[in-house]
Amino acid sequence: MELRVLRYFQAVVQERNISRAALQLHVSQPTISRQLHDLEEELGITLFERGSRNIQLTESGEYFSNQVNQILALTDKTLANIHEDQDIRGNIVIGSAEARSFLNIAQSFNGLQKKHPHIQIDVISTNADQIRTSIKSGYYDFGIIMDPGDKTGYDFMRLPGESRWGLLVSNHSPLAAKDHVELSDLSTEKLIISSQHGMTDLLNEWLGGSATKLTIVATYTLLYNASLMVSAGVGSALCIDGIVNTNQSDLTFVPFKPRLTAGTSLVWHHGQRHSAAAAAFLKQLSADIDQPLP
């Protein structure tokens, strides 16, 4: 299976049309058609539903397409990182939970860019489970996860600062006028919580084992989507402060009492051999770690 053929396949999927893909790739339509047919023969599966004007993927084709995108992204990243010269070049891929401490990462990357302008950072907002999977596969160089979290098999650097846990509520909610939210306030609330592994354990720790008594109506991966559900009246979102800007909005963040906070850590695979770009970033972050945030 050649990378060239995988790029043909990727182009056809993106364009949903062989003719347009051929124009994009500057090859003939029969060449692409023949290569895709050979690819299906090699795999022993049907990738496309034929007969319609626009090409549609089969279920197997959808799965293969997702895998091809990851293969080509990892290939491009690897090629960029090995073609380095004195002026370090390459891509750094970071999977990140939503946290204000990402400002540390942004600040360090700004300093790194001034020294090595040909380094690019790709930030993927996701959860800890996906971060661990993608670091293990080599797709991510680093991940930013909330503490406490399982760091077995990882090296890590704790990032400065802590974020407060609380409830994101509609301004129309009686809780919006309160200085803090207590356990008794949650008993009548419809709650939207993070889908991240370990969230229930965190709640149980704060609630003294009463998390099962809560009314959870939805889960989220990214808080922005959860904030839209809060605005729509679906419920109130358990989250950390400083991610959604509530100024001049219809939402209010109310912190928990007793106070519940979370730190964050930058993690990478134990014993991982970094590219020059990733190593330069880690060195920059280590030097900047105690600098005040903007």
Same domain, yes or no: 255 and 270: no
| pLDDT for the residue numbered 83 | 62
Domain-terminating residue out of 33, 48, 81? 81
What CATH number is attached to the domain comprising 135?
3.40.190.10
Query: Is residue 30 predicted with pLDDT exceeding 90?
Result: no
Same domain, 178 and 102: no
Residues 153 and 189 in one domain: no
Terminal Cα distance for the chain, rounded = 49
Predicted local confidence at residue 14, as pLDDT? 87
Residues 181 and 226 in one domain: yes
What was the pLDDT predicted at 255?
95
Average pLDDT, stretch 34-49? 87
For residue 160, is the peptide bond before it cis, meaning its omega torsion is within 30 degrees of 0? Answer: no
- Please tell me the total count of domains within the chain: 3
Range of the domain at 272: 84-160+263-288
Cis peptide before 258 (omega within 30 of 0): yes
User: Is the same domain home to 168 and 244?
Assistant: yes
Nearest CA to 162 out of 109, 216, 240, 106 is that of: 240
**Per-residue model confidence (pLDDT) at position 110:** 94
Q: Are residues 110 and 200 in the same domain?
A: no
148 and 92 together in one domain: yes
How many helices (H) does the chain have, and how many strands (E)?
Answer: 10, 11
Provide the b/e sequence for 43-59 (b: ≥16 CB within 10 Å). Answer: eeeebbeeeeeebebee
Strands 119-125, 56-57: pairing is unpaired
For the segment 170-198, what is each residue's pLDDT rounded down to a tens digit?
Answer: 999 999 999 999 988 988 899 999 887 66
| Count of CA atoms in the C-beta half-sphere (13 A) of 120 | 7
Tally the residues of the chain. Answer: 294
- Statement to judge: residues 137 and 270 lie in one domain: yes
Task: Please enumerate in sequence order all residues whose Cβ is within 8 A of that of 32, keeping only pairs 6 or more positions apart, or say none.
Answer: 8, 11, 12, 18, 21, 22, 25
Question: Domain holding 214: CATH number?
Answer: 3.40.190.290
End-of-domain residue from the set 81, 97, 125: 81
pLDDT tens profile 82-141: 665 557 889 999 999 888 888 889 999 999 999 899 999 999 988 888 898 999 888 999
Pair 236, 249 in one domain: yes
Residue 2's pLDDT is 86
pTM score, whole prediction: 0.65
Let me know whether 171 and 138 are in one domain.
no
Whether the per-residue pLDDT at 236 is higher than 90: the answer is yes
Position 262 scores a pLDDT of 84
